[in-house]
């Protein structure tokens, strides 16, 4: 007889009253206990969590996401642990599939694709939600994905590491087999609003702390990406250059370095960095999309079109790549091709209607 495994939900939260009820409602029928570690809420976060019979633990914030995460794991008593953030949900139709994952005797943990919903189709890895079947995806015109382990066996040897962008990967990979889950996690925290000023300052502070502690290429890359998100492209270039000096084979550093140079209109530097990214990861469309922008700015339209075509071939749902392709075709008088590209861009992201006239 197959064993019926139990499941704990572990969360950390601070001032999440706008989201946490939606999150807990989405999984209340599938988890056997809820652990919420609160790091200093001044709103109704804890009150809402307790309505779901959650075990709420107060935890003093010490500028370390892993410390808070690991505190939540200490209180989990079930066979498996599911980790969610307050602004995330699992779709109702996937709850049965989630329970089925627990029965795999060989697997110790599962990677999930976290869909972060945004209307900004220029975001790296953006995919249109136009034809997606999940109702959760209708909150925005698309999303970009991050692959993270979010479901794993309850074992005291499995712990999070890192003050920021915390991960359990190093500890779990020593213990057994991990697999990819077919279930997405839907993340709503970036919709129609930027992160709060508090979170911006917090992530900046922790990125700098992480870099000081670890002094490795990944830490510098994260700090560069943080500077990008804050619009400080000069600092982004500085941090990302340090990252590639430490590891010339990490494509994300080259990709973001190229994007930052592009924002500063340093086109030759952008071209070189983006070419490195494209060589290191040929399947990433965003390097080719940005190379297309570089070449269009250099008035090398045929080369730009070639890059945009590669980008849309790698990611047919990239509205931004189709739009850029349309702009380039239009600039050389190829009206028919431009119309076709613009039509696809608008279908994928209706926001482009305001930028082009198809009549």
Contact 189, 96 (CB under 8 A): no
What per-residue confidence (pLDDT) applies to 359?
Answer: 63
- Tell me, rounded to whole angstroms, the distance of Cα 227 from its chain centroid: 16
Q: Which domains does the chain have, with CATH numbers?
A: 7-105+146-185 (3.90.550.10), 195-282 (1.25.40.10), 295-359 (1.25.40.10)
- The residues near 93 (Cβ < 8 Å, ≥ 6 apart) are none
The C-alpha atoms of residue 257 and residue 236 are separated, in whole angstroms, by 7
Contact 161, 170 (CB under 8 A): yes
Q: pTM of the predicted model, to two decimals? A: 0.77
Query: How does pLDDT run along the chain (359 residues), one tens digit per residue?
Result: 456 899 999 999 999 999 999 999 999 989 999 999 999 999 999 999 999 999 999 999 887 888 899 999 999 999 999 999 999 999 999 999 999 999 998 999 999 999 999 888 777 778 888 889 999 999 998 998 888 899 999 999 989 886 555 677 778 878 889 999 999 999 998 875 544 444 554 454 455 455 545 567 877 887 888 788 778 899 899 989 999 999 999 999 999 999 999 999 999 999 999 999 999 999 999 999 999 999 999 999 999 999 999 999 999 989 999 999 999 999 999 999 999 999 999 999 888 888 887 76
Closest CA to 139 of 95, 84, 187, 184: 187
What per-residue confidence (pLDDT) applies to 123?
Answer: 77
Residue 24, burial from CB neighbour count under 10 angstroms (0-12, 13-18, 19+): buried
- Tell me, rounded to whole angstroms, the distance of Cα 358 from its chain centroid: 33
H helix or E strand, kind and range, residue 108: strand 107-118
What per-residue confidence (pLDDT) applies to 220?
Answer: 82
- Mean pLDDT (the chain) is 88
Distances (CA, A) of 35 to 55, 86, 110, 203: 5, 12, 20, 24
Other Cβ atoms closer than 10 A to 157:
9
């Amino acid at each position: 007889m197959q064993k019926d495994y139990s499941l704990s939900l572990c969360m950390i939260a601070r001032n999440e009253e706008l989201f946490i009820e939606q999150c807990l409602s989405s999984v209340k029928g599938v988890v056997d206990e809820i652990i919420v570690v609160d790091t200093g809420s001044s709103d109704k976060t804890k009150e809402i969590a307790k309505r779901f019979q959650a075990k709420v633990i107060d935890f003093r914030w010490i500028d370390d996401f892993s410390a808070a995460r690991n505190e939540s794991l200490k209180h989990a008593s079930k066979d498996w642990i599911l980790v969610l953030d307050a602004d995330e949900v699992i779709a109702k139709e996937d709850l049965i599939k989630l329970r089925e994952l627990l029965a795999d005797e060989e697997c110790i943990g599962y990677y999930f694709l976290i869909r972060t919903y945004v209307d900004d189709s220029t975001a790296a890895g953006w995919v249109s939600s136009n034809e997606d079947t999940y109702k959760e995806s209708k909150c925005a015109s698309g999303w970009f994905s991050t692959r993270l382990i979010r479901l794993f066996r309850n074992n005291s040897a499995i712990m999070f590491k890192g003050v920021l962008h915390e991960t359990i990967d190093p500890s779990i990979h020593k213990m057994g087999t991990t697999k990819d889950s077919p279930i997405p996690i839907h993340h709503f925290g970036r919709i129609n609003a930027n992160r709060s000023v508090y979170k911006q300052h917090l992530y900046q502070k922790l990125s700098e702390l992480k870099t000081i502690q670890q002094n490795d290429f990944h830490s510098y890359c994260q700090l560069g990406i943080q500077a990008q998100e804050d619009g400080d492209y000069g600092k982004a270039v500085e941090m990302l250059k340090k990252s590639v000096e430490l590891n010339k084979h990490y494509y994300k550093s080259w990709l973001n370095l190229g994007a930052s140079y592009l924002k500063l209109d340093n086109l030759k530097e952008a071209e070189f960095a983006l070419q490195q990214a494209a060589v290191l990861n040929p399947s990433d469309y965003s390097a080719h999309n940005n190379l297309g922008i570089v070449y269009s700015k250099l008035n090398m339209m045929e080369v730009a079109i070639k890059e945009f075509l590669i980008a849309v071939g790698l990611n047919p749902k990239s509205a931004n790549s189709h739009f850029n392709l349309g702009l380039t075709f239009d600039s050389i008088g190829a009206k028919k091709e431009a119309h076709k590209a613009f039509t696809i861009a608008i279908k994928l992201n209706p926001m482009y209607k305001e930028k082009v006239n198809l009549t």
